[in-house]
Amino acid sequence: MSQLIKENMQKWIEKNHADMIRKANDYYSPVLRTLDQRQVAYRLAREFAPLFARIECCLVANVHLAKHHGLPLTIQRGTGLGAGDFFNIYPATWDSEENFIVKELINPIDDRDIAYLEAHFHRTVPRLQIPHMVLLNYLYEILKDPQQVAIVLPRHRKSFHSYLMKAMKKVSKPYDQPNLHLRSLTVSDLVNMLPAKS
């Protein structure tokens, strides 16, 4: 760091030291007073999130089943399209709709809620409007196995892996896009972004 930058930073710190300490204390005090409650809330959220995901996905799966007039999803388990550490991928059709893949948990006994958490993830992430995400079409409960939910996704011409690899390359180049201006923030900018305590 050049000497001029160091000197300017030192002057800024000396000038704004009291204000920074006040702002830091304004944020630190309420956090310290509510730390125990935050830890309890975090623990409860971790404990009940899988149950809420299960309830949400069961309700959504029932809506999707009603859209298909109660007809079962046809999963072609004899034609595996791929597998990961936790999920198998199969082709599927539902009623008159074709060109789906189903993502199905390999061993639901190990963690009975992982499939529902994954389904919740597939429902939630598209709301972030990230380009190149594989969008969820439907959820379907496997009646023979109450710990299993089929995550129904669109089938692409290419393999799922090649689709994701191509999409990741596009997503990993954010600076190639025009009109993207990056601006570095100074410490002063960051402090001024903090809202004043009321």
pLDDT tens digit string along 6-35?
888 888 888 888 888 888 888 888 888 888
Closest C-alpha among 124, 126, 153 to residue 139 = 153
Q: Would strands 138-141 and 149-154 be described as parallel, antiparallel, or unpaired?
A: antiparallel
Length of the chain: 198
* Distance between CA atoms of residues 87 and 85, nearest Å: 6
Q: Average pLDDT, whole number, for the chain?
A: 79
Q: Tell me which amino acid residue 181 is.
A: H
pTM of this prediction?
A: 0.61
Percent of the chain with pLDDT over 70: 75
pLDDT tens digits, one per residue of 38-74: 889 899 988 999 899 989 999 999 999 999 999 999 9
Is the distance from CB of 164 to CB of 154 less than 8 angstroms?
Answer: no
1 or 101: which carries more pLDDT confidence? 101
Burial of 56 (0-12, 13-18, 19+ CB in 10 A): middle
Q: Check residue 180 and give its pLDDT.
A: 37
Which of 13-27, 86-100, 135-149, 175-189 has the least mean pLDDT?
175-189
pLDDT at residue 141, rounded to an integer: 87
User: Closest Cα to residue 88, out of 73, 96, 77?
Assistant: 77
Tens-place pLDDT, residues 163-183: 667 766 665 554 444 433 334
* Domain 49-155 CATH (choose: 3.30.470.20, 3.40.640.10, 3.30.200.20, 3.30.1240.10): 3.30.200.20
Question: Is there a contact between 109 and 125 (Cβ–Cβ < 8 Å)?
Answer: no
Span 127-136, pLDDT tens digits: 887 776 778 8
Q: Other CB atoms closer than 10 Å to residue 2's CB: what's the count?
A: 7
pLDDT computed for residue 83 by the predictor: 84
